[in-house]
């Protein structure tokens, strides 16, 4: 029974982290934390960008939860594990597939992973921190819905052609 409870805590934490990441991305990174996140919306020079500090911050929190939870045998350990699992998923989808920060390239041609990549490209179609769409990382609304929202917000004036390109279809 304990193993099942721990697995459920990990799964629930991964799901909850998508909500936390969405809110942090929309209200912190595109709000008062734009100083770090701005580097992610500009051309990258080198392997890292200032925005990567957010990953370090979340990883540190997960490490603390795992450490404290390991010592008290409680739920915090499994919450930290769930945060770590989410971090790996984020690294795979966002850094790897979407931004091609791996030494090899893979471009999904169909299905769920393609939708995630397209949604994030539409997020980057806006110049600056205001008026962006799709703040999640593992869930994305449909591409037509995101395009419609961008057109409503901006009337078609975007920094690049991602909204009209096949890459965003």
Specify whether 83 is located in the same domain as 123.
no
Does 162 score more than 60 pLDDT?
Answer: no
Specify whether 63 is located in the same domain as 89.
yes
The residue-averaged pLDDT of 105-122 equals 91
Does 103 score more than 90 pLDDT?
Answer: no
pLDDT digits (tens, 9 = 90+) for 59-92: 999 999 999 999 877 899 999 999 999 999 999 8
Is the residue at 103 inside a domain?
no
Is the residue at 105 inside a domain?
no
Q: What is the pLDDT of residue 72?
A: 76
Specify whether 141 is located in the same domain as 60.
no
Specify whether 164 is located in the same domain as 120.
yes
The residue-averaged pLDDT of 93-100 equals 87
Q: How many domains are contained in the chain? A: 2
Is the residue at 142 inside a domain?
yes
pTM of the model: 0.86
Asked which of 14-18, 59-63, 137-141, 156-160 is least confident by mean pLDDT, the reply is 156-160
Specify whether 91 is located in the same domain as 135.
no
User: By residue range, what is the domain housing residue 81?
Assistant: 2-40+49-98
Residue among 110, 66, 112 at smallest CA distance from 89: 112
pLDDT digits (tens, 9 = 90+) for 42-62: 988 888 999 999 999 999 999
Specify whether 22 is located in the same domain as 72.
yes
Specify whether 81 is located in the same domain as 12.
yes
Is the residue at 106 inside a domain?
no
pLDDT digits (tens, 9 = 90+) for 23-41: 999 999 999 999 999 999 9
| Integer Cα distance of 37 and 29 in angstroms | 5
Specify whether 36 is located in the same domain as 118.
no
Specify whether 150 is located in the same domain as 84.
no
Specify whether 24 is located in the same domain as 80.
yes
Q: What is the pLDDT of residue 157?
A: 59
Specify whether 164 is located in the same domain as 94.
no
Own/partner pairs for 136-141, CB < 8 Å, 24+ apart?
136/18, 136/21, 136/22, 136/25, 137/18, 137/21, 137/22, 137/25, 137/89, 137/90, 137/93, 137/94, 138/18, 138/86, 138/89, 138/90, 138/93, 139/18, 140/115, 140/116
Is the residue at 94 inside a domain?
yes
What is the token pair recorded at 149? 């929202």
Specify whether 92 is located in the same domain as 135.
no
């Amino acid at each position: 029974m304990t193993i099942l409870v721990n697995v459920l805590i990990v799964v629930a934490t991964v799901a909850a982290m998508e909500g936390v990441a969405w809110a942090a991305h929309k209200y912190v990174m595109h709000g008062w934390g734009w100083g770090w996140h701005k580097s992610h919306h500009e051309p990258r020079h080198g392997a890292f960008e200032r925005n990567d500090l957010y990953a370090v911050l979340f990883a540190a929190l997960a490490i603390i939860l795992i450490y404290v939870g390991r010592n008290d045998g409680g739920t915090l350990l499994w919450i930290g594990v769930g945060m770590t699992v989410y971090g790996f998923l984020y690294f795979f989808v966002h850094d790897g597939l979407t931004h091609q920060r791996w030494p090899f390239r893979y471009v999904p041609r169909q299905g769920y992973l393609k939708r995630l990549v397209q949604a994030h490209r539409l997020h980057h179609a806006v110049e600056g921190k205001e008026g962006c769409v799709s703040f999640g990382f593992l869930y994305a609304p449909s591409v037509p819905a995101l395009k419609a929202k961008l057109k409503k917000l901006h009337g078609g004036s975007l920094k690049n052609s991602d909204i009209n390109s096949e890459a965003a279809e």
